[in-house]
A and B are shown apart, each in its own frame.
Chain A
Amino acid sequence: MFKFYPKSFMSTVLIAASTSTIAFAAQEGVSNTYENGKRVIDGGVMYPVVNGKTSAYHINEETLKGGYTYGKKATDNEIKAWDIDVMPDGTGLPEGSGTVEEGDEVYEAKCVSCHGDFGSGSGMYPSLAKGNAEEGVASLTHQRVNPDADGPIRVFGTYWPQASTLWWYIKTGMPHAAPMSLTDDEVYALCAYMLSINEITIDGEELDDEYELDREKFLKIRMPNKDGFVPNIDGPKGTDNVREYFSNPKNYGAATTRCMKDCFEGEPVLARIQTEINDFSPPLSTARELPKTDASAAPVSEGAKIYEASCAVCHATDAMGAPALGDKKAWEAVLKKGIDTVYNNAMMGINAMPPKGGNANLTDDQLKATVDYMIDQSK
C-alpha cells in the first residue's frame, strides 16, 4: 500500500571498503512517499498509520475521519480585517500612493533612529541599502573564507526576490515598536524611498524625489535578485519543484555515506576559536550554590513598563549608541549634564533619539518616571 525505498535509493559510490552507503531499511510503518505516491516533500520519511499506530504512537483512527462542527463561519468583514498579507501578484495590495520625498520625511521621523542615514544601518539593526542594487547582486557569490574578505550584500535591493514582501513587512511589522501604525500612503512613500536608495528603477525609470509610487507602478517592480532562489516555488508545479529539490541530497549538503576507518589522510586539520565570543549574560556557571543576591521581585513600576514597551528597543544594549540600561559609566556621563537637562533631552530628543523616544503619547510625568527608572537601574 505504501511505497518503500528501493534497497539503496541514493548514490552507491563506495569510497573505501570500510565505507557503507546507508540504505533505507524497508520497515513497516516508515515510508518515503505519501499515501498519494508522491515523495515526501522535505526529502525525509513519514510514518503512515499501520494497525492503529503511527511510528511508536497509538492513534484512534476514527478521530481522523472528520464530522466536526466546531466554530462559526468567518464573515467577509472578519476576513477583511485580518487578511493583511500582500502577495507578488498584488493580492492584498491596496490602492494608495506616495512620493520618494514623502517617504524620506517619514523615514527621517520614524525609521532613521534604527536604520541610519539613507538606510546605512546602525548597531545590530539592518542596513536597507548598500549602493546600486543591480550591481550588488554580484556580491552574492562572495564567501568570507578569509577574515578580511568582503561578504555577500544581503540588503533589500540586492537580495529580496519580491517587492510585495517589503510592502507587507513595512505595513505589518514597522516601525518595530509601533507596527500597524502607518497609513497605506505612508507605506507607498516608504517603499518609494527604499527603491530610490537602492537605485532600483521601475520600467526603466529612475525614482527621483518627485516620483510617485502607486499600486499600478508597484506591480511593475522587478527585483534584481528575483531569480536568485532555488527551488522555483511559483506556479502549479511549485510544491513538486520543492519535492524534487530535496530528494537530491547533493543540492543541500546532506551526506549518505558512513565511513568507519581511515576516513581521511594524515593528521586531522584543526580549526580553533580565533576570536572567542563570551559576552554571555549571565556569565556561564555550572556551580550548585545559593544565588549571590536575593532576587525578591519588586513590583513593576510604571517607568519600568514604559521602558520595556518604548525604550528598550534602543536602550537595552549600547549597539545603537544610546546609554544602555545598567551601564553605570554611560549613565554617570549622562547625569553630569544635570538631571533637568536629561529630562529635557528625553522630552525633546537628542542625537538619534526622537522626542519622547518616538512615543508622543507619553505625559511629562510618565516620561520623567521612565527616565528615573532607567537612572535607578543604572546605578
Chain B
Amino acid sequence: MNKTTKISENDLMNAQETTERSSRRDFFKKTAAYSVSALAAASVLSPVKVNASDDPAIIEEQPWATALGDPVTKNQYGVPSLYEHNNIRRTSNLLSSGNWQASISMCPIHESEGIITPNGLFFNRVHGGVAHIDPNKHRLMIHGLVEKPIVLTMDQLKRYPSVTRIHFIECPANGGPEWRGPQFNSLQFAKGMMSSAQWTGVYIKTILKDLGLKPEAQWMLAEGGDSSHMGRTVPIDKVLDDAMIVWGQNGEALRPEQGYPIRLLLPGWEGNLCVKWLCRLEFASEPFYAKEETAKYTALKPDGKAIQHFYPLEVNSVITNPCPEKPWTDLKKGDLVEISGLAWSGQGTIEGVDISFDGGKNWVEASLNGLVLPKSWTRFSYLYKYEGKPLLLSSRARDDAGYVQPSVKQEREVMGVESVYHRNAIATWEVTEKGEVNNVQILS
C-alpha cells in the first residue's frame, strides 16, 4: 500500500516534468516543483497504518533520500562513511615499547574484505616515529661492492621500468604474544600485525644490471633515512630474485606510515626487513649485524641457540568469519553460513586450506576463493549448516613449497615458547552454543 503511495508520488513528479518540458517557463516551474516536493514529501504521503512486521527502514522516508547530498567539491580526497568509524587500527600498551613512536598499530583484519588492505588501515610498525620526508630531498644511494656506486633522485628512480605485484607484509611478531597461550580475545590483536597491498616499484636486479655487482658480494644492507636509521642485512639471493624498491601502494604513493617516498619490499619476508624510508643499499661480502637482526628479530629455541636471519613468513591461516569480533550470535539453527578466512605463505603460493570443527582431530577441505597469487593473502570459503552446537573451529593452510601449517604442539616441540617471532601454528576459535567466539589453543 505504501509502495503504491510512493509510486503515485513519483508518477506525479514525472507527470509534472513531462507536461512542463516544452514550457518557456520550464526553469522557474521546475525549481518550484522540486522545492515543494522536497519540503512536503512526508505530507504528500497518504496516512499509512504501520504493522509490526513492517520494517521502519522501508516505511519511513530517510533524510538522505529526501535532500541533496554533498557536492563533488567536498573531500577532494575521499574518506570512508562516518558509519565505518570503528573500522580502524588499534593499539595496546602491551605492544607500546614505552611510547607510541617505537610501536605498532594493529590492522582491523576482522573487517578486511578481499586480499587488499586500504592504505589508511595498513598496520603500522615504526621504530622512531612516522617520518615525513620531502621527496625532493630524498635520495637512494647504492654503493659498496659495485663497480659504479650511484645516487638516484626519486624522479630518476621512477624512470626505471616498473612492476606491480600483490603481496602481504607481516610483522614476524604477529601472534607472538601468544606463544605461551592465548591472550587476546580479538582477531585484530591476535593476528593484526599484517596487511596486504598492490605494490608498484622496480626490481633491484634491474638496477643492478648496470652497476657491476662484484662476485664476492653476498649481502646487501638496506637502511632507512628516518630517525631510527634502521638497517637490515639481506642475502644477495633474494636481491637477485624478487626484491623490489616500491613507491606505489594500491595505485597511489606510499603512505608516510609505509615509508614514503620509498621502501624495500622483500615479498614473503619479515616486515621488518622491508625497510621504510629507504635511503641506502650497500653491498658487502660479510653480514652487517644490525641491531634488529641480532638483539631482536631472532628466534630463541629451547637449546639456547637463536635462529638469526629467519626471513620467510611460513604458511599460515586464520578464520576471519566467524571471529571474536564477528560472532555467530545472530544465526539460528539451520542457517547456512559461510566460514571464510585468510591464508598466506611467504615461501610460495597457497595450495589449499582445511577446516576442522573438532579442534584439529578431523579435517575437511575448504575451497579457495578469488585470486591465488604467490606470497599473497588468499581467501578460503566453506559453507556450513549452523546447528547451534559448540565447535572448536580451526583452519590449516598448505603451500606449493610443500609446507603445512603445524599444530601448536608440533611447533612448540621445535621452537619452545620463547621464540617471540615466526609463530604460525594452527589457530582455533571456540564457538559456544550461543554463537559467541573465543580465542583458544589446542595443545593435543
> Which chain A residues have a beta carbon within 8 Å of chain B's beta carbons?
5, 9-10, 22-25, 27, 30, 32, 34, 38, 40-47, 55-57, 59-60, 63-74, 78-79, 82-85, 87-89, 114, 123-125, 137-138, 140-145, 151-152, 154, 156, 159-162, 164-165, 168-169, 172-173, 176, 179-180, 228-231, 233-236, 238-239, 242-243, 245-246, 249-282, 284-291, 312-314, 316-317, 319-320
Name which residue of chain A comes closest to B358, CB basis. Answer: A268
Give residues of chain B (71-126) contacting chain A, Cβ–Cβ below 8 Å.
82-86, 88, 90-94, 96-102, 110-111
Complex alpha-carbon distance, A265 and B128, angstroms: 49
A70 with B111: in contact, given A250-B414, A254-B406, A316-B99 (CB under 8 Å)?
no
Give residues of chain B (131-158) contacting chain A, Cβ–Cβ below 8 Å.
141-143, 148-153, 156-157
Give residues of chain B (226-247) contacting chain A, Cβ–Cβ below 8 Å.
227-231, 235-238, 240-242
Q: List 28 A-B contacts (CB under 8 A).
A: A22-B403, A23-B402, A38-B237, A42-B269, A46-B241, A65-B209, A68-B210, A78-B151, A79-B149, A140-B300, A140-B306, A143-B418, A165-B291, A169-B291, A169-B295, A250-B414, A251-B414, A253-B406, A254-B315, A255-B406, A258-B396, A262-B362, A266-B444, A270-B441, A272-B430, A277-B189, A288-B83, A290-B85
Q: How many A-B residue pairs have CB under 8 A?
A: 412
Contact partner of B150 among A72, A236, A243, A273, CB < 8 A?
Answer: A72
Verify A24–B392 contact, CB threshold 8 A. no
Verify B141–A44 contact, CB threshold 8 A. no
Of B29-37, B43-51, B282-290, B333-341, the one contacting chain A is: B282-290
Indicate whether B395 reaches chain A with its CB closer than 8 angstroms: no
A279 with B93: in contact, given A24-B402, A289-B83 (CB under 8 Å)?
yes
Verify B349–A55 contact, CB threshold 8 A. yes
Indicate whether B219 reaches chain A with its CB closer than 8 angstroms: yes
Name which residue of chain A comes closest to B291, CB basis. Answer: A169
Verify B303–A30 contact, CB threshold 8 A. no
Chain A residues within an 8 Å CB radius of B255: none
New A-B pairs, 20, CB < 8 Å, besides A68-B206, A281-B91: A30-B349, A41-B311, A42-B311, A45-B349, A56-B374, A68-B209, A70-B156, A70-B157, A87-B289, A124-B96, A143-B302, A265-B444, A270-B442, A271-B181, A274-B181, A287-B86, A288-B86, A312-B99, A316-B101, A319-B98
Contact with A along B182-220 (1 / 0, CB 8 A): 111110110000000000000101110110000010110
Verify B235–A125 contact, CB threshold 8 A. no
How near does chain A come to B407, taking the closest CB pair, in angstroms? 8
Verify A276–B185 contact, CB threshold 8 A. yes
Indicate whether B294 reaches chain A with its CB closer than 8 angstroms: yes
Complex alpha-carbon distance, A114 and B308, angstroms: 27
Complex alpha-carbon distance, A245 and B98, angstroms: 35
Kindly state the interface size class of chain B when it binds its partner: 35 or more
Indicate whether B348 reaches chain A with its CB closer than 8 angstroms: yes
| Interface of chain B, main secondary structure | loop
Verify B309–A73 contact, CB threshold 8 A. no
How near does chain A come to B323, taking the closest CB pair, in angstroms? 10
How near does chain B come to A119, taking the closest CB pair, in angstroms? 14
How near does chain A come to B376, taking the closest CB pair, in angstroms? 10
Interface centre among B156, B209, B282, B294 (most CB of A within 10 A): B294
Complex alpha-carbon distance, A285 and B110, angstroms: 11
Verify B90–A160 contact, CB threshold 8 A. no
Verify A79–B143 contact, CB threshold 8 A. yes
Complex alpha-carbon distance, A82 and B223, angstroms: 10
Chain A residues within an 8 Å CB radius of B188: 280, 284
